[in-house]
Amino acid sequence: MAGGRAKLRPATGRRERDAARCGSRKENRNRGLTMPMINRRRLLGTAMAAGAMAAGVRAIGGGAAEPILLSPGPARFDLTRRGMTEGMMGFTPDGLPPVIRLRQGVPADIVVENRLEEITTIHWHGMRLPVDQDGVPWLTQLPIGAGETYRYSFTPPDAGTYWYHPHCNTLEQIARGLAGVIVVEEAEPQPFDADLALQIRDFRLGGDGQFIELYKPRNMARGGTLGTVSTVNWQVAPVLTAPAGGLVRLRLAVTDVTRVYELSLSGAAAALIALDGQPLPAPEVLPVPLILAPGQRADLAVVMPEEGREVLLGFTKTSGKSELLATVRATGASLGRSLDRLAPLPPNPTPLPDLAGAERLDFTFGWSPDGTAPDTGGFCGDVPYRFWSINRVPYAGDAPPDPARPGRPLAALKQGHSYVLRMRNETQNDHPIHLHGLAMHLLGPDGRLSGRVQDTVLLRSHESAEVAVLADNPGDWVFHCHVIEHQKSGLAGFVRVL
Ligand code: C2O
Ligand code: CU
Ligand code: CU
Protein backbone atom coordinates (compact mmCIF):
# COMPACT_ATOMS: atom_id res chain seq x y z
CA MET A 1 0.00 0.00 0.00
CA ALA A 2 1.60 3.21 -1.08
CA GLY A 3 0.85 6.63 0.27
CA GLY A 4 0.89 8.05 3.75
CA ARG A 5 -1.96 7.72 6.18
CA ALA A 6 -4.00 10.71 6.98
CA LYS A 7 -3.89 11.78 10.58
CA LEU A 8 -6.65 10.54 12.86
CA ARG A 9 -9.26 13.16 13.11
CA PRO A 10 -10.61 13.86 16.57
CA ALA A 11 -14.04 12.33 17.08
CA THR A 12 -15.44 15.41 18.71
CA GLY A 13 -17.21 17.83 16.51
CA ARG A 14 -18.58 15.14 14.21
CA ARG A 15 -22.09 15.50 15.47
CA GLU A 16 -22.08 19.21 15.05
CA ARG A 17 -20.81 18.83 11.52
CA ASP A 18 -23.38 16.17 10.76
CA ALA A 19 -26.13 18.32 12.11
CA ALA A 20 -24.92 21.20 10.06
CA ARG A 21 -24.46 19.25 6.87
CA CYS A 22 -27.31 16.80 6.79
CA GLY A 23 -29.73 19.62 6.44
CA SER A 24 -32.94 20.73 8.01
CA ARG A 25 -36.25 19.11 7.19
CA LYS A 26 -37.09 21.99 4.92
CA GLU A 27 -33.86 21.49 3.05
CA ASN A 28 -34.59 17.78 2.74
CA ARG A 29 -37.87 18.46 1.05
CA ASN A 30 -36.22 20.91 -1.28
CA ARG A 31 -33.92 18.22 -2.55
CA GLY A 32 -36.93 16.15 -3.56
CA LEU A 33 -36.06 13.27 -1.25
CA THR A 34 -38.91 12.08 0.90
CA MET A 35 -38.68 12.23 4.65
CA PRO A 36 -42.14 11.52 5.98
CA MET A 37 -42.67 12.87 9.45
CA ILE A 38 -45.20 11.54 11.82
CA ASN A 39 -46.44 12.57 15.16
CA ARG A 40 -44.15 11.35 17.86
CA ARG A 41 -46.61 11.06 20.71
CA ARG A 42 -49.02 8.90 18.75
CA LEU A 43 -46.24 6.46 18.00
CA LEU A 44 -45.03 6.02 21.50
CA GLY A 45 -48.51 4.92 22.47
CA THR A 46 -48.55 2.07 19.99
CA ALA A 47 -44.91 1.26 20.41
CA MET A 48 -44.45 -2.20 21.77
CA ALA A 49 -47.97 -3.44 21.24
CA ALA A 50 -47.13 -6.77 19.68
CA GLY A 51 -44.48 -7.78 22.21
CA ALA A 52 -43.88 -11.47 22.74
CA MET A 53 -40.90 -13.29 24.17
CA ALA A 54 -38.94 -15.67 21.98
CA ALA A 55 -35.52 -16.97 23.00
CA GLY A 56 -35.20 -14.17 25.49
CA VAL A 57 -35.73 -11.60 22.78
CA ARG A 58 -38.90 -9.69 22.19
CA ALA A 59 -40.55 -10.24 18.84
CA ILE A 60 -42.43 -7.36 17.30
CA GLY A 61 -44.66 -7.28 14.29
CA GLY A 62 -46.36 -10.47 13.23
CA GLY A 63 -48.85 -8.94 10.86
CA ALA A 64 -50.20 -6.30 13.24
CA ALA A 65 -51.79 -3.36 11.49
CA GLU A 66 -49.95 -0.96 13.79
CA PRO A 67 -46.59 0.29 12.60
CA ILE A 68 -43.54 -1.30 14.17
CA LEU A 69 -41.49 1.16 16.16
CA LEU A 70 -37.71 1.15 16.32
CA SER A 71 -36.08 3.85 18.37
CA PRO A 72 -32.32 3.64 17.92
CA GLY A 73 -30.51 5.34 20.76
CA PRO A 74 -28.52 4.79 23.90
CA ALA A 75 -29.34 1.51 25.65
CA ARG A 76 -28.77 0.23 29.14
CA PHE A 77 -27.57 -3.36 29.17
CA ASP A 78 -25.32 -5.57 31.26
CA LEU A 79 -23.54 -7.62 28.62
CA THR A 80 -21.01 -9.43 30.73
CA ARG A 81 -22.84 -9.53 34.08
CA ARG A 82 -20.11 -7.34 35.49
CA GLY A 83 -22.22 -4.22 35.50
CA MET A 84 -23.75 -2.01 32.86
CA THR A 85 -21.76 -1.68 29.65
CA GLU A 86 -21.63 2.04 29.02
CA GLY A 87 -22.15 3.36 25.52
CA MET A 88 -24.34 0.61 24.14
CA MET A 89 -26.91 1.41 21.49
CA GLY A 90 -30.21 -0.38 21.05
CA PHE A 91 -33.53 -0.09 19.26
CA THR A 92 -35.30 0.27 22.58
CA PRO A 93 -34.03 2.00 25.71
CA ASP A 94 -33.69 -1.32 27.54
CA GLY A 95 -31.45 -2.93 24.97
CA LEU A 96 -32.09 -6.30 23.33
CA PRO A 97 -32.79 -5.72 19.64
CA PRO A 98 -36.28 -7.02 18.90
CA VAL A 99 -36.80 -9.70 16.27
CA ILE A 100 -39.02 -8.11 13.65
CA ARG A 101 -41.59 -10.60 12.38
CA LEU A 102 -43.17 -9.81 9.03
CA ARG A 103 -45.20 -11.89 6.62
CA GLN A 104 -44.39 -12.51 2.99
CA GLY A 105 -46.58 -10.37 0.75
CA VAL A 106 -48.07 -8.37 3.63
CA PRO A 107 -47.26 -4.62 3.71
CA ALA A 108 -45.23 -3.45 6.69
CA ASP A 109 -44.77 -0.01 8.19
CA ILE A 110 -41.71 0.53 10.32
CA VAL A 111 -41.30 3.82 12.07
CA VAL A 112 -37.82 4.84 13.15
CA GLU A 113 -37.56 7.38 15.91
CA ASN A 114 -33.95 8.49 16.12
CA ARG A 115 -32.96 8.85 19.78
CA LEU A 116 -29.27 9.03 18.88
CA GLU A 117 -27.38 12.29 19.00
CA GLU A 118 -26.31 11.70 15.42
CA ILE A 119 -27.79 10.94 12.04
CA THR A 120 -28.76 7.42 11.01
CA THR A 121 -30.76 5.33 8.52
CA ILE A 122 -32.01 1.76 8.74
CA HIS A 123 -31.24 -0.77 6.03
CA TRP A 124 -33.15 -4.06 5.60
CA HIS A 125 -30.29 -6.34 4.72
CA GLY A 126 -31.10 -8.92 2.05
CA MET A 127 -34.65 -7.80 1.38
CA ARG A 128 -35.57 -7.01 -2.22
CA LEU A 129 -37.38 -3.71 -1.82
CA PRO A 130 -37.97 -0.53 -3.82
CA VAL A 131 -34.76 1.48 -3.72
CA ASP A 132 -36.31 4.40 -1.84
CA GLN A 133 -36.82 2.06 1.14
CA ASP A 134 -33.27 0.70 1.13
CA GLY A 135 -31.97 3.00 3.83
CA VAL A 136 -28.66 4.18 2.41
CA PRO A 137 -27.87 7.76 3.36
CA TRP A 138 -27.72 10.22 0.44
CA LEU A 139 -27.90 7.47 -2.13
CA THR A 140 -31.50 6.43 -1.43
CA GLN A 141 -32.72 8.87 1.22
CA LEU A 142 -31.52 11.73 3.35
CA PRO A 143 -30.34 10.61 6.75
CA ILE A 144 -32.66 10.74 9.74
CA GLY A 145 -31.49 13.56 11.96
CA ALA A 146 -31.19 13.35 15.73
CA GLY A 147 -34.68 13.53 17.20
CA GLU A 148 -36.36 12.98 13.83
CA THR A 149 -38.82 10.27 12.91
CA TYR A 150 -38.93 8.46 9.60
CA ARG A 151 -41.31 5.90 8.20
CA TYR A 152 -40.32 2.95 6.03
CA SER A 153 -43.09 1.12 4.16
CA PHE A 154 -42.58 -1.98 2.09
CA THR A 155 -43.99 -5.39 1.29
CA PRO A 156 -41.51 -8.25 1.68
CA PRO A 157 -41.54 -10.29 -1.55
CA ASP A 158 -39.45 -13.13 -0.10
CA ALA A 159 -39.82 -15.20 3.04
CA GLY A 160 -36.78 -16.01 5.12
CA THR A 161 -34.25 -14.70 7.61
CA TYR A 162 -32.99 -11.16 7.09
CA TRP A 163 -31.60 -8.44 9.35
CA TYR A 164 -31.68 -4.73 9.92
CA HIS A 165 -28.99 -2.26 10.79
CA PRO A 166 -28.08 1.39 10.33
CA HIS A 167 -26.17 2.30 7.17
CA CYS A 168 -24.55 5.35 8.72
CA ASN A 169 -21.57 5.53 11.08
CA THR A 170 -21.82 1.74 11.14
CA LEU A 171 -18.40 1.18 12.59
CA GLU A 172 -19.86 2.69 15.71
CA GLN A 173 -23.62 2.20 15.49
CA ILE A 174 -23.53 -1.52 14.60
CA ALA A 175 -20.51 -2.12 16.83
CA ARG A 176 -22.35 -0.69 19.82
CA GLY A 177 -25.39 -2.87 19.28
CA LEU A 178 -27.64 -1.62 16.49
CA ALA A 179 -28.46 -4.80 14.58
CA GLY A 180 -31.50 -7.06 14.74
CA VAL A 181 -32.99 -10.08 13.00
CA ILE A 182 -35.96 -9.92 10.65
CA VAL A 183 -38.08 -13.01 10.16
CA VAL A 184 -40.34 -12.97 7.13
CA GLU A 185 -42.83 -15.78 7.60
CA GLU A 186 -43.79 -17.84 4.57
CA ALA A 187 -47.24 -17.16 3.20
CA GLU A 188 -48.08 -20.75 4.22
CA PRO A 189 -47.15 -22.00 7.72
CA GLN A 190 -44.14 -24.35 7.83
CA PRO A 191 -44.05 -27.60 9.83
CA PHE A 192 -41.71 -26.61 12.66
CA ASP A 193 -42.37 -27.11 16.35
CA ALA A 194 -40.25 -24.11 17.32
CA ASP A 195 -38.55 -21.23 15.55
CA LEU A 196 -35.50 -19.63 17.17
CA ALA A 197 -33.63 -16.61 15.84
CA LEU A 198 -30.02 -16.38 16.97
CA GLN A 199 -28.16 -13.15 16.33
CA ILE A 200 -24.46 -13.98 16.48
CA ARG A 201 -21.96 -11.21 17.05
CA ASP A 202 -19.03 -9.96 19.08
CA PHE A 203 -18.62 -6.87 21.16
CA ARG A 204 -15.22 -5.26 21.69
CA LEU A 205 -15.01 -5.05 25.45
CA GLY A 206 -12.17 -4.94 27.93
CA GLY A 207 -11.90 -7.13 31.04
CA ASP A 208 -14.09 -4.67 32.91
CA GLY A 209 -16.97 -5.22 30.50
CA GLN A 210 -16.60 -1.76 28.96
CA PHE A 211 -16.01 -0.91 25.32
CA ILE A 212 -12.43 -0.54 24.17
CA GLU A 213 -11.37 1.23 20.95
CA LEU A 214 -13.72 -0.07 18.26
CA TYR A 215 -11.01 -0.57 15.65
CA LYS A 216 -7.33 -0.17 14.99
CA PRO A 217 -6.16 1.34 11.70
CA ARG A 218 -3.50 -1.33 11.24
CA ASN A 219 -6.21 -4.01 11.45
CA MET A 220 -8.47 -2.04 9.18
CA ALA A 221 -5.79 -2.40 6.51
CA ARG A 222 -5.75 -6.18 7.09
CA GLY A 223 -8.48 -8.56 8.24
CA GLY A 224 -10.33 -6.11 10.46
CA THR A 225 -10.47 -5.70 14.23
CA LEU A 226 -12.05 -8.64 16.03
CA GLY A 227 -14.38 -8.29 18.98
CA THR A 228 -13.52 -9.83 22.33
CA VAL A 229 -16.85 -11.13 23.65
CA SER A 230 -18.96 -13.39 21.43
CA THR A 231 -22.67 -13.32 22.04
CA VAL A 232 -25.97 -14.75 20.90
CA ASN A 233 -28.86 -12.33 21.25
CA TRP A 234 -26.60 -10.09 23.36
CA GLN A 235 -25.95 -12.89 25.85
CA VAL A 236 -22.81 -14.88 26.52
CA ALA A 237 -23.59 -18.57 25.97
CA PRO A 238 -27.34 -18.36 26.63
CA VAL A 239 -29.42 -21.48 27.26
CA LEU A 240 -32.58 -21.68 25.17
CA THR A 241 -35.20 -24.39 25.20
CA ALA A 242 -37.09 -26.27 22.52
CA PRO A 243 -39.45 -29.26 22.59
CA ALA A 244 -37.71 -32.64 22.94
CA GLY A 245 -37.81 -34.61 19.70
CA GLY A 246 -39.20 -31.53 17.98
CA LEU A 247 -38.27 -30.18 14.57
CA VAL A 248 -36.79 -26.76 15.21
CA ARG A 249 -36.01 -24.02 12.74
CA LEU A 250 -32.82 -22.38 13.87
CA ARG A 251 -32.17 -19.06 12.18
CA LEU A 252 -28.54 -18.04 12.46
CA ALA A 253 -27.65 -14.46 11.57
CA VAL A 254 -24.07 -13.19 11.78
CA THR A 255 -24.30 -9.47 12.39
CA ASP A 256 -20.72 -9.01 13.53
CA VAL A 257 -18.74 -6.18 11.96
CA THR A 258 -15.65 -8.34 11.36
CA ARG A 259 -15.62 -12.00 12.35
CA VAL A 260 -16.14 -14.80 9.85
CA TYR A 261 -17.69 -17.45 12.08
CA GLU A 262 -16.77 -21.12 11.65
CA LEU A 263 -19.75 -22.72 13.34
CA SER A 264 -20.54 -26.22 14.45
CA LEU A 265 -23.62 -27.82 15.94
CA SER A 266 -23.48 -30.92 18.09
CA GLY A 267 -26.01 -33.09 19.85
CA ALA A 268 -28.64 -33.17 17.12
CA ALA A 269 -29.31 -34.17 13.55
CA ALA A 270 -29.52 -31.05 11.43
CA ALA A 271 -29.93 -29.97 7.81
CA LEU A 272 -29.20 -26.71 6.05
CA ILE A 273 -32.42 -25.42 4.49
CA ALA A 274 -31.75 -21.78 3.53
CA LEU A 275 -28.86 -19.36 3.05
CA ASP A 276 -29.25 -15.60 3.25
CA GLY A 277 -32.99 -16.12 3.58
CA GLN A 278 -33.25 -17.97 0.29
CA PRO A 279 -34.40 -21.62 0.46
CA LEU A 280 -32.05 -24.28 -0.88
CA PRO A 281 -33.65 -26.38 -3.65
CA ALA A 282 -33.33 -29.36 -1.29
CA PRO A 283 -32.21 -29.65 2.34
CA GLU A 284 -28.48 -30.33 2.56
CA VAL A 285 -26.26 -32.05 5.06
CA LEU A 286 -24.99 -29.38 7.41
CA PRO A 287 -21.41 -28.53 6.41
CA VAL A 288 -18.73 -28.87 9.10
CA PRO A 289 -17.85 -26.18 9.86
CA LEU A 290 -20.66 -23.97 8.66
CA ILE A 291 -18.90 -20.78 7.62
CA LEU A 292 -20.97 -17.64 8.03
CA ALA A 293 -19.41 -14.25 7.33
CA PRO A 294 -20.66 -10.85 8.51
CA GLY A 295 -24.05 -10.25 6.94
CA GLN A 296 -24.83 -13.89 6.15
CA ARG A 297 -27.64 -16.04 7.51
CA ALA A 298 -28.36 -19.75 7.56
CA ASP A 299 -31.59 -21.55 8.39
CA LEU A 300 -31.19 -24.99 9.91
CA ALA A 301 -33.76 -27.71 10.51
CA VAL A 302 -32.76 -29.40 13.75
CA VAL A 303 -34.27 -32.46 15.40
CA MET A 304 -34.08 -31.98 19.15
CA PRO A 305 -32.77 -34.86 21.29
CA GLU A 306 -34.59 -36.44 24.24
CA GLU A 307 -35.74 -34.42 27.23
CA GLY A 308 -32.91 -32.85 29.22
CA ARG A 309 -30.30 -33.30 26.50
CA GLU A 310 -28.59 -30.35 24.91
CA VAL A 311 -27.72 -29.13 21.46
CA LEU A 312 -24.57 -27.02 21.41
CA LEU A 313 -23.73 -24.29 18.94
CA GLY A 314 -20.08 -23.35 18.99
CA PHE A 315 -17.40 -21.79 16.84
CA THR A 316 -13.68 -22.16 16.32
CA LYS A 317 -11.65 -19.12 17.21
CA THR A 318 -8.70 -17.94 15.13
CA SER A 319 -6.49 -19.53 17.81
CA GLY A 320 -8.04 -22.90 16.95
CA LYS A 321 -9.83 -23.17 20.30
CA SER A 322 -13.54 -23.74 20.25
CA GLU A 323 -16.01 -21.65 22.16
CA LEU A 324 -19.63 -22.24 23.09
CA LEU A 325 -22.10 -19.76 21.63
CA ALA A 326 -25.45 -21.12 22.76
CA THR A 327 -27.15 -24.18 24.18
CA VAL A 328 -30.60 -25.39 23.23
CA ARG A 329 -32.01 -27.73 25.89
CA ALA A 330 -34.74 -30.22 25.05
CA THR A 331 -37.81 -30.05 27.25
CA GLY A 332 -41.02 -32.06 27.61
CA ALA A 333 -42.18 -35.34 26.19
CA SER A 334 -40.62 -36.25 22.87
CA LEU A 335 -42.45 -35.18 19.75
CA GLY A 336 -40.65 -37.91 17.83
CA ARG A 337 -39.87 -35.88 14.73
CA SER A 338 -37.11 -36.70 12.25
CA LEU A 339 -35.38 -35.25 9.20
CA ASP A 340 -36.81 -37.99 6.97
CA ARG A 341 -38.95 -36.58 4.22
CA LEU A 342 -38.06 -33.03 5.25
CA ALA A 343 -39.41 -30.99 2.37
CA PRO A 344 -37.55 -27.94 1.04
CA LEU A 345 -38.94 -24.56 2.02
CA PRO A 346 -41.23 -23.08 -0.63
CA PRO A 347 -39.13 -21.19 -3.18
CA ASN A 348 -39.15 -17.41 -3.15
CA PRO A 349 -40.20 -15.52 -6.28
CA THR A 350 -36.66 -14.33 -7.01
CA PRO A 351 -36.43 -13.85 -10.77
CA LEU A 352 -34.05 -16.17 -12.64
CA PRO A 353 -31.32 -14.50 -14.66
CA ASP A 354 -30.91 -15.53 -18.29
CA LEU A 355 -27.37 -16.86 -18.56
CA ALA A 356 -27.32 -17.14 -22.33
CA GLY A 357 -27.95 -13.45 -22.83
CA ALA A 358 -25.94 -12.25 -19.86
CA GLU A 359 -23.22 -9.66 -20.14
CA ARG A 360 -20.04 -10.19 -18.10
CA LEU A 361 -18.85 -7.58 -15.63
CA ASP A 362 -15.58 -7.81 -13.72
CA PHE A 363 -15.11 -6.68 -10.16
CA THR A 364 -11.74 -6.84 -8.46
CA PHE A 365 -11.58 -6.34 -4.73
CA GLY A 366 -8.18 -5.15 -3.69
CA TRP A 367 -6.04 -2.72 -1.81
CA SER A 368 -6.27 0.92 -2.51
CA PRO A 369 -3.59 2.35 -4.71
CA ASP A 370 -3.45 5.24 -2.28
CA GLY A 371 -4.12 4.86 1.45
CA THR A 372 -5.16 8.43 2.01
CA ALA A 373 -8.68 9.76 2.18
CA PRO A 374 -10.17 13.06 1.17
CA ASP A 375 -11.09 15.29 4.08
CA THR A 376 -14.80 14.82 4.28
CA GLY A 377 -15.47 16.06 7.76
CA GLY A 378 -16.20 12.67 9.31
CA PHE A 379 -19.58 12.47 7.66
CA CYS A 380 -21.66 9.44 8.73
CA GLY A 381 -18.66 7.88 10.44
CA ASP A 382 -16.36 8.24 7.48
CA VAL A 383 -12.80 7.27 8.44
CA PRO A 384 -9.67 9.11 7.30
CA TYR A 385 -8.28 6.05 5.50
CA ARG A 386 -8.68 4.46 2.10
CA PHE A 387 -7.03 1.06 2.32
CA TRP A 388 -9.37 -0.83 -0.03
CA SER A 389 -10.89 -0.51 -3.47
CA ILE A 390 -13.20 -2.03 -6.05
CA ASN A 391 -11.65 -2.04 -9.52
CA ARG A 392 -8.84 0.07 -8.05
CA VAL A 393 -11.19 2.87 -7.01
CA PRO A 394 -11.66 3.46 -3.27
CA TYR A 395 -15.20 4.55 -2.52
CA ALA A 396 -15.77 8.05 -1.26
CA GLY A 397 -19.53 7.92 -1.42
CA ASP A 398 -20.26 7.61 2.28
CA ALA A 399 -19.11 11.17 2.38
CA PRO A 400 -20.24 12.76 -0.85
CA PRO A 401 -18.77 16.19 -1.42
CA ASP A 402 -22.21 17.04 -2.79
CA PRO A 403 -25.03 14.87 -1.40
CA ALA A 404 -26.99 15.31 -4.59
CA ARG A 405 -24.22 13.61 -6.58
CA PRO A 406 -22.99 10.50 -4.78
CA GLY A 407 -20.16 9.71 -7.18
CA ARG A 408 -20.16 7.42 -10.17
CA PRO A 409 -21.62 3.93 -10.25
CA LEU A 410 -19.26 0.98 -10.65
CA ALA A 411 -21.44 -0.23 -13.50
CA ALA A 412 -24.65 0.75 -15.23
CA LEU A 413 -27.08 -2.15 -15.69
CA LYS A 414 -30.06 -2.11 -18.00
CA GLN A 415 -33.31 -2.95 -16.33
CA GLY A 416 -34.54 -6.37 -17.40
CA HIS A 417 -31.09 -7.53 -18.56
CA SER A 418 -29.01 -10.27 -17.00
CA TYR A 419 -25.39 -9.99 -15.94
CA VAL A 420 -22.70 -12.28 -14.69
CA LEU A 421 -20.57 -10.56 -12.08
CA ARG A 422 -17.09 -12.03 -12.03
CA MET A 423 -15.80 -11.24 -8.58
CA ARG A 424 -12.15 -11.63 -7.70
CA ASN A 425 -10.46 -11.12 -4.36
CA GLU A 426 -6.88 -10.21 -5.10
CA THR A 427 -5.94 -9.96 -1.43
CA GLN A 428 -5.20 -12.49 1.28
CA ASN A 429 -8.03 -11.25 3.52
CA ASP A 430 -11.65 -12.39 3.67
CA HIS A 431 -14.21 -10.20 1.94
CA PRO A 432 -17.93 -10.98 2.36
CA ILE A 433 -19.25 -9.09 -0.65
CA HIS A 434 -22.80 -7.83 -0.29
CA LEU A 435 -25.08 -6.48 -3.00
CA HIS A 436 -28.24 -4.59 -2.10
CA GLY A 437 -31.50 -5.01 -3.95
CA LEU A 438 -30.63 -7.68 -6.52
CA ALA A 439 -30.43 -11.40 -5.77
CA MET A 440 -27.06 -13.00 -6.58
CA HIS A 441 -27.42 -16.47 -8.11
CA LEU A 442 -24.17 -18.33 -7.54
CA LEU A 443 -22.77 -20.13 -10.54
CA GLY A 444 -21.25 -23.56 -10.06
CA PRO A 445 -17.86 -24.64 -11.44
CA ASP A 446 -19.69 -25.69 -14.62
CA GLY A 447 -20.83 -22.10 -15.12
CA ARG A 448 -24.49 -22.95 -14.54
CA LEU A 449 -26.88 -21.76 -11.83
CA SER A 450 -26.04 -23.68 -8.67
CA GLY A 451 -29.42 -23.14 -7.01
CA ARG A 452 -27.88 -20.94 -4.31
CA VAL A 453 -29.19 -17.43 -4.11
CA GLN A 454 -27.36 -15.08 -1.76
CA ASP A 455 -27.04 -11.43 -0.88
CA THR A 456 -23.57 -11.83 0.60
CA VAL A 457 -20.85 -13.97 -0.97
CA LEU A 458 -17.72 -14.70 1.02
CA LEU A 459 -14.49 -14.50 -0.96
CA ARG A 460 -11.69 -15.91 1.11
CA SER A 461 -7.99 -15.30 0.41
CA HIS A 462 -7.46 -14.89 -3.36
CA GLU A 463 -10.80 -16.53 -4.16
CA SER A 464 -13.06 -15.75 -7.09
CA ALA A 465 -16.75 -16.36 -7.65
CA GLU A 466 -19.26 -15.77 -10.39
CA VAL A 467 -22.83 -14.75 -9.72
CA ALA A 468 -25.67 -14.00 -12.08
CA VAL A 469 -28.13 -11.22 -11.44
CA LEU A 470 -31.24 -10.13 -13.22
CA ALA A 471 -31.33 -6.33 -13.06
CA ASP A 472 -35.06 -6.25 -12.35
CA ASN A 473 -35.13 -3.51 -9.73
CA PRO A 474 -34.23 0.03 -10.81
CA GLY A 475 -32.09 2.20 -8.56
CA ASP A 476 -28.64 2.65 -7.12
CA TRP A 477 -27.67 -0.51 -5.25
CA VAL A 478 -24.75 -0.52 -2.86
CA PHE A 479 -22.10 -3.18 -3.39
CA HIS A 480 -19.66 -3.52 -0.53
CA CYS A 481 -17.62 -5.68 1.76
CA HIS A 482 -19.49 -6.39 5.00
CA VAL A 483 -16.33 -6.26 7.08
CA ILE A 484 -17.29 -2.77 8.08
CA GLU A 485 -13.72 -1.52 8.42
CA HIS A 486 -13.13 -2.53 4.79
CA GLN A 487 -16.37 -0.92 3.66
CA LYS A 488 -15.58 2.32 5.44
CA SER A 489 -12.03 2.50 4.11
CA GLY A 490 -12.90 2.06 0.45
CA LEU A 491 -14.25 -1.42 -0.35
CA ALA A 492 -17.63 -0.17 -1.48
CA GLY A 493 -19.45 1.31 -4.41
CA PHE A 494 -22.78 0.96 -6.10
CA VAL A 495 -24.28 -0.31 -9.33
CA ARG A 496 -27.01 1.59 -11.10
CA VAL A 497 -29.99 -0.17 -12.69
CA LEU A 498 -32.01 1.92 -15.11
CU1 C2O B 1 -25.95 -5.15 5.62
CU2 C2O B 1 -25.07 -2.34 2.89
O3 C2O B 1 -25.54 -3.74 4.26
CU1 CU C 1 -27.75 -4.85 2.61
CU1 CU D 1 -13.45 -6.94 3.07
DSSP string covering 22-81? H--HHHHHHTT-------HHHHHHHTTTT-EEETTEEEEESS-SSPEEE--EEE---SSS
What is the structure's pLDDT at 57? 66
Gap between the Cα atoms of 235 and 81, Å rounded: 9
Tens digit of pLDDT at every position of the chain (498 positions): 333 332 322 222 333 333 323 333 333 322 233 323 322 222 222 222 223 333 456 777 765 568 999 999 999 999 999 999 999 999 998 889 999 999 999 999 999 999 999 999 999 999 999 999 999 998 999 999 999 999 999 999 999 999 999 999 999 999 999 999 999 999 999 999 999 999 999 999 999 999 999 999 999 999 999 999 999 999 999 999 999 999 999 999 999 999 999 999 999 999 999 999 999 999 999 999 999 999 999 999 999 999 999 999 999 998 999 999 999 999 999 999 999 999 999 999 999 999 999 999 999 999 987 777 766 656 788 888 999 999 998 887 655 555 555 678 999 999 999 999 999 999 999 999 999 999 999 999 999 999 999 999 999 999 999 999 999 999 999 999 999 999 999 999 999 999
Q: Is the pTM of this model over 0.95?
A: no
Query: Using an 8 Å Cβ cutoff, are 294 and 318 in contact?
Result: no
CATH architecture of 359-497: Sandwich (2.60)
What is the structure's pLDDT at 402? 58
What is the structure's pLDDT at 383? 87
Report the atom number in ligand 1 closest to the C-alpha of 295.
1
Q: Ligand 1 within 6 A of 125 CB? A: yes
Contacts of 110 by beta carbon, 8 Å cutoff, 6+ apart: 67, 68, 69, 70, 100, 122, 151, 152, 153
What is the structure's pLDDT at 338? 97
Give the C-alpha distances (Å, rounded to integers) separating 206 from 173, 228, 229, 483. Answer: 18, 8, 9, 21
Report the atom number in ligand 1 closest to the C-alpha of 126.
1
What is the structure's pLDDT at 2? 32
Query: Using an 8 Å Cβ cutoff, are 200 and 294 in contact?
Result: no
Q: Ligand 1 within 6 A of 297 CB? A: no
Can you give the residue ranges of every domain in the chain?
4-186, 195-331, 359-497
What is the structure's pLDDT at 398? 54
Q: Ligand 1 within 6 A of 488 CB? A: no
Q: Ligand 1 within 6 A of 123 CB? A: yes
Ligand with smallest separation from the Cα of 479: 1
What's the CA-to-centroid distance between 305 and ligand 2, angstroms?
Answer: 36
Query: Using an 8 Å Cβ cutoff, are 296 and 431 in contact?
Result: no
What is the structure's pLDDT at 407? 76
Query: Using an 8 Å Cβ cutoff, are 19 and 120 in contact?
Result: no
**Phi, psi for 452 (deg, rounded to 5):** -95, 130
309 three-class SS: coil
Report the atom number in ligand 1 closest to the C-alpha of 125.
1
CA 354 to chain centre: 28
What is the structure's pLDDT at 408? 86
Query: Using an 8 Å Cβ cutoff, are 104 and 187 in contact?
Result: yes
Is 359-497 the same fold as 4-186?
yes
Instruction: Classify domain 4-186 by CATH number.
Output: 2.60.40.420
What's the CA-to-centroid distance between 139 and ligand 1, angstroms?
Answer: 13
What is the structure's pLDDT at 135? 97
Gap between the Cα atoms of 293 and 259, Å rounded: 7
Q: What is the homologous superfamily of the domain 195-331 according to CATH?
A: Cupredoxins -  blue copper proteins (2.60.40.420)
What's the CA-to-centroid distance between 470 and ligand 3, angstroms?
Answer: 24
Report the atom number in ligand 1 closest to the C-alpha of 456.
1
What is the structure's pLDDT at 4? 31
What is the structure's pLDDT at 134? 98
User: How would DSSP label each residue in 233-280?
Assistant: TTBSS-EEEEETT-EEEEEEEE--SS--EEEEEESSEEEEEEETTEEE
Contacts of 324 by beta carbon, 8 Å cutoff, 6+ apart: 237, 312, 313, 314
